[in-house]
Amino acid sequence: MSLPAAIRKFWRSTAPRTQSDVEDEFRSTLEAYQQDLIRQGLPEEEARRTARIALGRPGAQNETYRDAIGLRIFDELGGDVRYGLRALRRNPGFATVAVLSLAIGIGATTAMFSLIYAVLLHPFPYVGADRIMNPVIIDQQRPDEPRWFPLSEAQFDALRAAAPVDSALGFNNARMEITGGALPEDVSGIYITENAGTFFGVRPLLGRDIEPSDAENGGQSVVVLNYHFWQRHFGGDAGVIGQTLEIDHAPYIIVGVMPRSFAFNDTNGIGDVYLPGSLMRGLFNVSYMSYIPWIKLRPHVTLAAADAALEPIVRQFAQQHPERFPDHWSLALQPIIVPYEQETGRTLALLLAGVVLLLMIGCANCSILLLARGRTRRHELAIRAAIGASRWRIIRQLLVEAIVISCSGAVLGVAASYWLARVPLLLSPDSFPAESFIRINADILAFSIGLALLCGILFGLAPALRLSRDDSARVLPGRQIGIAAVQAKHRWSALIAAQVALTLLLMATAGTAIGSFLRLLEMPLGYDPVNVIQVGVKLHTQDPDEWSRIRTREARVAYVEQIRGKIASVPGVSTVAIATDATPPNAGTENGFDIEGSGVHEEPARVILVGEKYFAALRVPLLQGRMWSADENARGDFIAVVNRAFATRYLSWSNVLGRRLRIPGLTSKNRYQATSMQSNAWREIIGVAGDARNDGVDRPVAPAIYVPYTAVMLPYAQFLVRSEGDPLAYLPSIRAAVASAASDQQISNSAFNGTFTLNEAIERDAQYSRQRLFSILFGVFSFMALALALVGIFSVVAYSVAQRTMEFGVRLALGAPRAHVLWVAARIALVSAAAGIVVGLALDGFLGALLAHWMQNVFATGSVFVAAALLSFSALIACLLPARHAISVAPAEALRHE
Amino acid sequence: MTTPVILPQGTLEMLILKAVSLGALHGYGILLRIQQISGERLEILQGSFYTAIYRLERRGWIKGEWGESENNRRARFYSLTAAGTRRLKAETAKWTDMAGVVAGILRTKASEA
């Protein structure tokens, strides 16, 4: 059944008989009675009249019918709604302002709710997502940094069989290449255990999940695609199922495409392609099966109970592989939402508070407008009361009119929220789970409808109560209300004060957010990010021939130096430095170290692997000593440079050069890494560099040790390229230069060791993007709030001046000074605004402390006073502009006014 | 002519059910029948008459069908449904019961109290 048909059916069931049916019947009764009367001897006209007097008009009968079957309330409400709509049409200025005030508030609140819904309430598409846990190891020396841990197949099975575990998923991320095309394409692959389909419970968009049967014969060569990869690589072609995809020179059959909301996983990178885990056994590059587990607890198992049950099992694993575990650790099961809940939850709560303030200001504005307009409607309402409308009936009518306004606002607002909700995701993409995908659904619609009704009642109630109380006897006799009107307007003064106070709060918060963001921008970075781009290159580990050529450290160093030379020869490129995971604002990895003569240091320092041109490319000043030479760089051992923070913290400033230090952890047995002969032996400090951000844009520079990148060669390399002008413009030539170094060597586009400018790296910083998000959104919120509050003040003064034209005429005629009249006209609004500012200042003092606590960083202060000054000035203008009309009244004209 | 009787609340519906129970009638016919069986002593308020009919039809105690009246006019005839029959029986019993009790009380003499 179609929707209109369903509605018609429902409508008919509420009123089974049509109007004409009811009227026909009534007419037949009327005629029968009339005939009777004629038969009794009355003349025809007389009989008609008598019958109608006795029975009533046929036209009114349908109303009787609907009343009798209980539909009257709907008819009346329908009438009220129609009347409300007509009133809005008649008064387009009022309607626009009122509807927009609410549309802004409801739109922003709905957007924020849908964001919270998508990000915090239902971020993951998995079945039982709230029971899915990430088991992490908490190192007691570094409790802030939980670590994932890999399991062997047997260990994974042991964990899966544990009592509190419902099911477990094992996975392992791997860099892969799509081969067979003109150029290989770098992709992120994830091997997952074959129970993935049932574990996730997510229906594939096309085809099927990875299934248990895929484990047969050492793993079937099948692949399931991620939605975004499918879009990027296949242009969303629905015919891919059954096609062959060549990964690392082996054919795989595409069996499924996952839906857009599926972006497994957040633990260590989203996969482009998902492969059966059993395939890992046959791969030459995986020495043992290792799985990172996600476990789904049985329903009603508490976290503490599960922790206690699983810890002994993991203790056994630690005995088998002590090298994979820190010395002192404990196990914790972390719900998969946890990494987002802490930071993002706060961000969203703060933004939600902002939009709720905006909504309240919008509601206050509507109340003020209704009260102000209500004064012109007193006459109409008095007539309604006089002809028998009860007070409740009038309140109901006014409320329905308010709800008409709020629902119109909600329609606009919900439409806008669809786009508004995306704004935070665009401004701060890394703060939200990749799976969160904004859509308007039934829950969100219900929320906004509820919100609209609530707002309508909230802002409609005060005016309705106020206006319905007017005594018709007092209002009706004449319209000489001029001077008597003075007492009634204190009601909106409280609303104006509230509105101004809330606006001030929002403005102060915006000022604080913008101030902190500006301060973040002004903080010295210690390096120059302008015109520098990082170019990532992934070496060919998967192709046995290619790999054997660059397997040794020396061959690999020569290879990456060759690429460096090619890039450096691109015209317009001034400096090229090689660096390994050393791209600021986050550089290096934490490592313990010893300084000769002062023993072992408990705290770790950042160890940053770089080439000899690093400081030149980033324009980091060298404060003492020298940078190592190209030859020393190739050797990799015996030398190091430290940063200023390291020198001042661990050494005396005058006695740095020549001291020796050692990084015991600077070594590796990983088959893809190659270390120099004595990478973890003593190194002489030959220079001190200036402090460049290495721990995020907002945190102090961590003590750092710079070591030649050749000490530990990884299967990838990054080049920091400084160019003249926009580095992105040079990207095609850089790409060509890299490709010329070796056949099918190309630059990487993955998220971390891919290609991006250093300014992009800053923008991607979590704190930076969060602060930018707050500055922009709160800036917009407070601008809207200010506009709303000014409109409120303006309309109150304008209405009251219009109402009191005669009073002002009389005052002027009696010789009142113009300044006095101006004061009289604007007084109440001005006083209310001033009261609002005082209240706002007090509230802000209280709130500021709360905010500083929440945002966990130093806040710019004093913005509240700037905001208060700005608000006072604008409020004054908003009062005086309409008040001017009061003194421009010609006395004679004013007296004719009513 | 005897004095008119004012109907207590809710009894009009019972009277309509009774009138219709004797055979299908159109609206005006019901009106006439009630006046006839009451000996012209009931003045039914016209407004409430049709309200009562609509309500009874809504509740499914009577059902209306279009037909031809005795003088060949189109009219809507009402007849009692099964639920209406049960209702009339229950109402009648209740009314008789109550009337009996009230009459009994009113007949009580001082000596019997």
Do the chains contact at A24 and B71, CB–CB below 8 Å? Answer: no
B84 interfacial to chain A (CB closer than 8 Å): no
- Burial class for A548, CB neighbours closer than 10 Å (0-12, 13-18, 19+): exposed
For residue A288, what pLDDT is reported?
Answer: 54
Query: pLDDT band at residue A330, thresholds of 50, 70 and 90?
Result: confident
B18 interfacial to chain A (CB closer than 8 Å): no
A806 secondary structure, DSSP code: H
The two tokens of residue B78 are 């009402």
Q: What digits encode the pLDDT tens for the residues A618-649?
A: 999 999 999 999 999 998 889 999 999 999 98
Rounded CA separation A894/A884 (Å): 15
B64 interfacial to chain A (CB closer than 8 Å): yes
A293, pLDDT greater than 60: yes
For residue A574, what pLDDT is reported?
Answer: 92
A25 interfacial to chain B (CB closer than 8 Å): yes
Contact indicator for A428, A348 with CB cutoff of 8 Å: no
B73 interfacial to chain A (CB closer than 8 Å): yes
To the nearest whole Å, the CA of B28 is away from the closest chain A CA by 5
A121 secondary structure, DSSP code: I
By mean pLDDT, which of A71-80, A180-189, A281-290, A728-737 is the weakest? A281-290
Which chain B positions have a beta carbon within 8 Å of A39's beta carbon? none
pLDDT over 70 for what percent of chain A?
88
A742 secondary structure, DSSP code: S
For residue A709, what pLDDT is reported?
Answer: 93
Q: What digits encode the pLDDT tens for the residues A264-280?
A: 876 667 888 999 988 87
Q: Of A210, A208, A223, A203, give the one whose Cα is nearest residue A127.
A: A203
Rounded CA separation A661/B9 (Å): 105
Q: Which of B58, B74, B75 comes nearest A69 by C-beta? A: B58
A488, pLDDT greater than 70: no
Q: What digits encode the pLDDT tens for the residues A744-757?
A: 677 776 655 677 88
Q: Which of B28, B46, B64 comes nearest A56 by C-beta? A: B46
Residue type at position A730: Y
For residue A159, what pLDDT is reported?
Answer: 86
ipTM of the shown complex: 0.79
Which chain A positions have a beta carbon within 8 Å of B47's beta carbon? 56, 64
Query: pLDDT band at residue A860, thresholds of 50, 70 and 90?
Result: low
A-B contacts (CB, under 8 Å): 51
A444, pLDDT greater than 90: no
Q: Of A297, A418, A330, A6, give the one whose Cα is nearest residue A140.
A: A330
pTM for this entry: 0.72
What mean pLDDT comes out for the span A670-681? 81
B75 interfacial to chain A (CB closer than 8 Å): yes
Do the chains contact at B51 and A55, CB–CB below 8 Å? Answer: no
Rounded CA separation B32/B26 (Å): 10
For residue A704, what pLDDT is reported?
Answer: 94
- Burial class for B21, CB neighbours closer than 10 Å (0-12, 13-18, 19+): middle
Average model confidence (pLDDT) across chain A: 82
Rounded CA separation A116/A124 (Å): 13
B1, pLDDT greater than 80: no
What mean pLDDT comes out for the span B71-87? 86
Which chain B positions have a beta carbon within 8 Å of A37's beta carbon? none
Contact indicator for A35, A48 with CB cutoff of 8 Å: no
A879, pLDDT greater than 80: yes
For residue A374, what pLDDT is reported?
Answer: 75
To the nearest whole Å, the CA of B51 is away from the closest chain A CA by 5
A67 interfacial to chain B (CB closer than 8 Å): yes
To the nearest whole Å, the CA of B17 is away from the closest chain A CA by 17
- Burial class for A262, CB neighbours closer than 10 Å (0-12, 13-18, 19+): buried
Residue type at position A530: V
Q: What digits encode the pLDDT tens for the residues A92-145?
A: 888 888 888 888 888 888 888 888 887 777 778 888 888 888 888 887 766 666
- Burial class for A216, CB neighbours closer than 10 Å (0-12, 13-18, 19+): exposed
For residue A528, what pLDDT is reported?
Answer: 93
Q: What digits encode the pLDDT tens for the residues A677-688?
A: 888 889 999 999
A841, pLDDT greater than 50: yes
Do the chains contact at A25 and B76, CB–CB below 8 Å? Answer: yes
Which chain B positions have a beta carbon within 8 Å of A33's beta carbon? 28
Which chain B positions have a beta carbon within 8 Å of A24's beta carbon? 74, 76
Which chain B positions have a beta carbon within 8 Å of A31's beta carbon? 73
A551, pLDDT greater than 60: yes
Which chain A positions have a beta carbon within 8 Å of B60's beta carbon? none
Do the chains contact at A28 and B55, CB–CB below 8 Å? Answer: no
Contact indicator for A67, A92 with CB cutoff of 8 Å: no
B76 interfacial to chain A (CB closer than 8 Å): yes
For residue A487, what pLDDT is reported?
Answer: 47
For residue A517, what pLDDT is reported?
Answer: 86
What mean pLDDT comes out for the span A221-249? 88
Query: pLDDT band at residue A434, thresholds of 50, 70 and 90?
Result: low
A705, pLDDT greater than 80: yes
User: Which chain A residue lies closest to B32 (C-alpha atoms)?
Assistant: A33
For residue A573, what pLDDT is reported?
Answer: 93
Q: What digits encode the pLDDT tens for the residues A814-830?
A: 888 888 888 888 888 88
Query: pLDDT band at residue A484, thresholds of 50, 70 and 90?
Result: very low
